[in-house]
Chains A and B, each alone.
Chain A
């Protein structure tokens, strides 16, 4: 069910809306959109969070959509235990949001990419 093709890394950032200039969301399960960056095509897609208005279990359903989207890394706010369990079992890495310097999802991505480049 993974949509991930060979090569690229897919990075998802819970966002407060659609567009790379939107602020990262404060909550994972009920965020407005997931901003997903594909490193192979170097392009963004913005997925409306299907779990946003779910009465209960939004964290699990949102995590499920990360699995379905073939995401490799989630950069976001602290996760609840249910969502964290799904992502862990699906071997999706979870990275905390950087500090106040990253006001938009594209900045969040830049900070993460730079840090990763340094590691390499």
Chain B
């Protein structure tokens, strides 16, 4: 069971919810529950921060790289097909030779494929790293980190999602998605069975929840909502949920002590211990909802 914790808007509480959820599953499992060892993937590779709440020990890492073209100037006759086929402007043909722009390259390999003289070979370029380890209580943890200055998060996310390979379909996996509804967030949702959408009841929160709802519906992904900072803003987010049939599965109140605790890097369910049972309940509810959607 792969649950992506997502939101259109940044700063809504994705990581707060994802970390509390996976921690609750781990605790439940440790107490003899049936949940199984959970896996947490921090997929916000441009700014991973779930480690702040979960305090994992990361003892393994591997580089993520993409293939980029390397042009053999002796073989190249400057025909220009490589630059023509490239959708990303990563190659330019000049009288002096082929100029490549590694930062623009998406690693699709089209240039090497179309080169009639076999002058292009692909070489690897590192763009990030995957780090894996474990966090208490019995949570397997991995995160992706995009190198500073690199523009493409998706290859790092795809590599991170490979951590799920070989895990049973029932094992709990929580994916902390990046904000927004662009490619990185969609790459994470594609790896999920269920989208848990964190929203705050403000006009801005509503705007981005609407976008995200459209996205998950287009993907045919079942979704539910966690209403964070309940008590601020207005009732429009709840109205939207009612109108569109989105269920609000959990409400987190707007409280000063929560904000203070989170700002110190303390896990939500450690700030408000009573919420741990609510998060375990949320996990069970998600499973029911997902089953109901499938059948």
- On A, residues with C-beta under 8 Å from B are 1-2, 51, 54-61, 63-64, 67, 82, 85-86, 89-90
Contacts and interface: CB of A to CB of B under 8 A. Distances in A.
B104 A82 contact: yes
A55 B87 contact: yes
B90 interface: yes
23 contacts: A1-B78, A51-B89, A54-B88, A54-B89, A56-B87, A56-B89, A56-B106, A57-B86, A57-B89, A58-B89, A59-B89, A60-B89, A60-B91, A60-B101, A60-B104, A64-B83, A67-B94, A67-B95, A86-B94, A86-B99, A89-B96, A90-B94, A90-B96
B94 A82 contact: no
Overall SS of chain B's interface: loop
A3 to B, nearest CB: 13
Interface in B71-105: 78, 80, 83, 86-96, 99, 101, 104
Given A1-B78, A1-B80, A82-B104, A61 B89 contact: yes
A90 B95 contact: yes
Given A1-B80, A57-B104, A60-B101, A86 B88 contact: no
A22 B244 CA distance: 47
Q: Which of A1, A54, A64 has the most CB of B within 10 A?
A: A64
Nearest to A54: B89
Nearest to B90: A57
Contacts of B104: 56-57, 60, 82
Contacts of A86: 92, 94, 99
Contacts of A82: 89, 101, 104
Contacts of A85: 99
Contacts of A57: 86-90, 101, 104
A64 B87 CA distance: 13
Contacts of B78: 1
Contacts of B87: 54-57
A71 B50 CA distance: 52
Contact of B93 (A51, A58, A64): A64
A60 B80 contact: no
A89 B86 contact: no
A51 B88 CA distance: 10
A93 B106 CA distance: 30
Interface string B96-140: 100101001010000000000000000000000000000000000
Contacts of B92: 60-61, 63-64, 67, 86
A82 B91 CA distance: 10
Given A60-B89, A86-B94, 15 more contacts: A54-B87, A56-B89, A57-B88, A57-B89, A58-B89, A59-B89, A60-B104, A61-B89, A63-B92, A64-B83, A82-B101, A86-B99, A89-B94, A89-B96, A90-B94
Contact of A60 (B90, B95, B96): B90
Nearest to A29: B89
B99 A89 contact: yes
Contacts of B94: 67, 86, 89-90
Given A1-B78, A60-B104, A89-B99, A67 B93 contact: yes
Contacts of A55: 87-88
Nearest to A64: B92
A55 B183 CA distance: 13
B7 to A, nearest CB: 25
A1 B94 CA distance: 9
Contacts of A64: 83, 89, 92-93
Contacts of A59: 89
Contacts of A2: 95
Contacts of A51: 89
Nearest to A50: B84
